[in-house]
Amino acid sequence: MTERRMKWRELVAALALAAPLCALVPQAMAGESTARENIEEHDHDRARHARERGEIKSLEEIMPMVSREAPGEVSHIELERDDGLWVYEFRIIDGKGHLEEIKVDAATGRIIERESE
């Protein structure tokens, strides 16, 4: 295969990968709140699908585990994919008013990282 043809194929492959990202541009330009709503809906769908596939425990199962280890008021919960692992990220305000960030393996409920801010 000629060098020119290889470069052409690389360009086509790069454009094919970039096309889905281009679909996000109108959402981003429509306003921050609309984009945030779309992201939140997408996150909810990802979490639901992961739960249905048995890849993660539900928050109902995880919350008692986290509360035992880090009592306080939960101010934020996020589910993310980190190096192939589903991770719940909690931000908890303890009884003294300190903010603590706790990362939990969403499949097992095991705390994998704990950081006070």
User: CATH no. for residue 67?
Assistant: 3.10.450.40
Whether 108 is covered by a domain: the verdict is yes
**Through-space distance between the first and last CA atoms of the chain, rounded to whole angstroms:** 56
Judge whether 61 lies within some domain.
Answer: yes
Token digits of residue 111: 């705390």
> What is the amino acid identity at position 52?
E
Print the domain residue range for 68: 55-116
- Largest Cα separation within the chain, whole Å, is 68
The answer to whether residue 91 is domain-embedded is yes
Statement: residue 98 has pLDDT above 80: yes
Residue 12 within any structural domain of the chain: no
What pLDDT, on a 0 to 100 scale, did the predictor assign at position 110?
94
In contact, 90 and 113? CB cutoff 8 Å: no
* Residue range 43-88, pLDDT digits in tens: 678 788 888 999 999 989 999 999 999 999 999 999 998 888 999 9
Residue 33: inside a domain: no
* 105 part of a folded domain: yes
37 located within any domain: no
> Domains in the chain: how many in total?
1
pLDDT digits (tens, 9 = 90+) for 18-32: 444 444 445 444 444
